[in-house]
Amino acid sequence: MNKLLDSKHYSSYIIHMNKLPLHKRVQILAMMVEGSSMRSISRVVGCSINTVTKTLVDAGEACASYHNENVRNVTASRIQCDEIWSFCYAKKKNVKTAKAAPEGAGDVWTWTALDADSKLIVSYLVGGRDAGYANEFMDDVASRLANRVQMTTDGHKAYLEAVEGAFGADVDYAQLIKLYGASSESAKGRYSPAECTGIKKRTVEGNPDEKHVSTSYVERQNLTMRMSMRRFTRLTNAFSKKVDNHIHMLSLYFVHYNFCRIHKTLKVTPAMEAGLTDTLHDMEWIVSLIDARAKKPGRPKTYGTKKNISN
C-alpha cells in the first residue's frame, strides 16, 4: 500500500518511524535504574547499543532540567552531605598510560545532599573533590532550601569554607569525623577500608543538636546508588567510559529516586514526603519529560514535493 505525502508530513513520518515504542523506552530506563549494563539492556530489549545510549542521553538531559527547576524551596530540618567515589575510563593513577583517554577520564566524585526526614536528594554535583567543587555544591544546596537547617558532613576540610561561604551564620553545622585504626595483616592488599574504631562530633557553626549529628542516611543512600547503577559497581569493567554519560545516568537516577521510587519506610516517594508533589510518578512520566523537550520537526525547505512511501 502506497501513501502520497508532501515533505512536511514525510519529515514527521520518518521521526515517528525512528522512535522506539513507549514500552521499550520504559523498559530501557527501568533496567538502567535497576543496575543493568548498557549492552545487556540492548540484548534484552532488542535494540542497538546506540539506541540505548541515545535514550540515556535524552533522559539525563530531561531529568537534570526537571530537578533543577522543581527541587526548590525545600523545607527541611536536617541535611546530611557526603561524596561517593567512582571513575570514568580509567582510575586517576592509570590515566597517563591509558590509550586515547578522553577529557574527564580519571576519578569522579558525586556530592549529594539528603534531607534526613524525607530522604529527598536535595542537590547533587559531579566532578572533583577539591574546594572549588565544594563551594559550588554548597551554594547550590543553600539555593534550594527554604529555611535554616542543621547540617552534618564528614571531616573533609573543603566543607568548612564552603558551608561558611554559602550559609554564613544561618546554619547549625557539625562534622562527623570517623577515626580509623591500622588495617589488619589479612586485609592488606585487599579492596577494603581500614576498620573504623570510633567517631568524633565537632560543632562548627550555630547550635546543632548532637544526637542528630549523623551521616548515616546519606551513606546508606550511597550504598543504594552503588546497587542501583551498574557503573558504580566496584571491581568490574562496568565503569563509565564518558563522564557526560556518567552524569546523565546520575540525573536519571536521582529524579527516579525522588519522584518515582517508593521509600520502603516512608511508604511514599521522597518528593511526596517533602511536599514537592502529591503524585506518584512512573517511568512513563520520565519518558513524557523527554518528549516534552524533543525538537519539533523543522519546516521543510521546499513545499509541494511528493514522495512515495511503501508501508
Write down the domain spans for the chain: 2-310
- Residue 296 pLDDT: 64
- Residue 87 pLDDT: 87
Q: Using 70 as the pLDDT threshold, list the residues of the chain that sit under it.
A: 1-18, 183-193, 295-311
Contacts of residue 80, defined as CB under 8 A and 6 or more positions apart, other chains included, come to: 113, 114, 116, 151, 152, 153, 214, 215, 216, 217, 218
How far, in Å, are 25, 37, 43, 53, 279 from residue 49 at the CA level?
13, 10, 9, 6, 33
The grid coordinates listed for 128 are: 572533583
Q: Is 189 left (phi over 0), alpha (psi -120 to 50) or beta?
A: left
The grid coordinates listed for 234 are: 566496584
- Residue 192 pLDDT: 63
- Residue 49 pLDDT: 94
- Residue 114 pLDDT: 98
- Residue 100 pLDDT: 79
Closest among 190, 145, 186 to 163, alpha carbons compared = 145
Topology given in CATH for the domain delimited by 2-310: Nucleotidyltransferase; domain 5 (3.30.420)
Angstrom distance (rounded) from CA 146 to CA 249? 28
Angstrom distance (rounded) from CA 72 to CA 122? 8
Buried b / exposed e across 110-139, counting CB within 10 Å, b at 16+?
bbbbbbbbbbbbbbbbbbbeebebbbebbe
- Residue 251 pLDDT: 97
